[in-house]
Amino acid sequence: MASRDRFAINTISNNSLALGDAIALYCRHGVRAITPWDDKVAELGLAETKRRLDDAGIALNGFCLAGLFAKHGRGNLAVALDHNRRVLDLAAALGAPMIVTCVGGLIAGERDLDYARRYAFEGMQALVEAARPYGITLGIEPLHPMYLPEWSVVTTIAEANDWAERLGAGVGIVVDTYHTWWDPALAEGIRRAGAAGRIAAVHVNDWLSPTSDVLLDRGMMGEGVIDIPKIRGWLDDAGFAGRLEVEIFSTRLWAADQDAYLAETLQRFEEHV
């Protein structure tokens, strides 16, 4: 039974709305913290985004999205880092405490997974150096293995803990129920992350079974098969006291009436988180 004081929402949950309209929606429903995406902020403009957030009294729980080094192709780490520096600038200007970081998958057109892991780690080392002066935490989010080719060679919480440990200060991890619920070592991973003070953010949502699309068919909490209260208990025991951020990629829900959907999300947050 989560209190609304702990509620935050990732704006991807209302991806059909422009950022300005999403902020107005959150304001109507008393939401106090959000995580926006860099492309939507760029669309609305940095100054205008800041003004609307301030007027609505909404703080940033985090910012999306850093990483994805492989996306720019082999040998183009500098290009990837330039993009990441722009994301850091936006996040810092808006006062975000952390940036969700997907380390990237296979190099476009290649099959060498070992190389992809080394490449992503090298990218992270450079990004950590770039991020430290900003004082913003990079939260490595382990993603479900089905996301590996495009999004992340880090697929388990154990790997995310290992990477964070090796990368050192300024790196945390993001625990997303959708990506981690299946992992037999999840409880241990959360304990380890909590003991190191490393849990930078928590994303909540549900896994529909069957699912029609592994990227764009997530469920609201309580609609699917994840025992969210159990995972929440592990997070509590690990000392995590931050916000629990709802993050739902769903073409079904993006097409729904956004006021009714957010009202239901808030109710389900209290009942199922």
**Contacting Zn ion (CB under 5 A), which of 177, 202, 247, 273?**
247
**Cα atoms found within 13 Å of the Cα of residue 144, Cβ hemisphere only:** 12
CB of 249 to Zn ion, least distance (A): 9
Site string for Zn ion, 30-49 (x = CB under 5 A): --------------------
| Cα distances (Å, whole numbers) of residue 33 to 30, 113, 116, 246 | 9, 37, 34, 11
Residue with Cβ nearer Zn ion (68 or 107): 68
Instruction: Provide the 10 A C-beta neighbour count for residue 203.
Output: 24
Number of chain residues interacting with Zn ion (CB under 5 A): 3
CB of 62 to Zn ion, least distance (A): 10
- Helical packing angle, 113-131 and 157-167, nearest 10°: 50
Using rule CB under 5 A, residue 245 touches Zn ion = no
Tell me which stretch binds Zn ion (CB under 5 A): 53-61, 131-139, 243-251, 258-266. Answer: 243-251
Tell me which stretch binds Zn ion (CB under 5 A): 67-75, 78-86, 147-155, 247-255. Answer: 247-255
CB of 54 to Zn ion, least distance (A): 26
| Cα distances (Å, whole numbers) of residue 150 to 106, 135, 143 | 6, 28, 11
CB of 111 to Zn ion, least distance (A): 26
**Contacting Zn ion (CB under 5 A), which of 38, 159, 176, 206?**
176
Map the footprint of Zn ion across residues 69-108, applying CB under 5 A.
Answer: none
CB 194 within 8 A of CB 238: yes
Degrees, nearest 5: CA angle 108-109-114: 75
Residue-wise DSSP of 163-219: HHHHH-TTEEEEEEHHHHTT-TTHHHHHHHHHHTT-EEEEEE-B--SS-S-TTTB-B
Residue with Cβ nearer Zn ion (9 or 107): 9
CB 81 within 8 A of CB 67: no
Tell me which stretch binds Zn ion (CB under 5 A): 80-88, 91-99, 180-188, 203-211. Answer: 203-211
Q: From CA 144, how far away is CA 120, in angstroms rounded?
A: 17
CB of 114 to Zn ion, least distance (A): 26
Tell me which stretch binds Zn ion (CB under 5 A): 104-112, 171-179, 194-202, 259-267. Answer: 171-179
Residue with Cβ nearer Zn ion (69 or 178): 178
Q: From CA 258, how far away is CA 51, in angstroms rounded?
A: 23
The DSSP code for 106 is S
Buried b (16+ CB within 10 A) or exposed e, 117-129: bebbbebbeebbe
Strand, helix or coil at 267?
helix
Residue with Cβ nearer Zn ion (159 or 176): 176
**Contacting Zn ion (CB under 5 A), which of 203, 218, 243, 272?**
203
Site string for Zn ion, 208-227 (x = CB under 5 A): --------------------
CB of 76 to Zn ion, least distance (A): 26
Binding residues (CB under 5 A) for Zn ion: these are 176, 203, 247
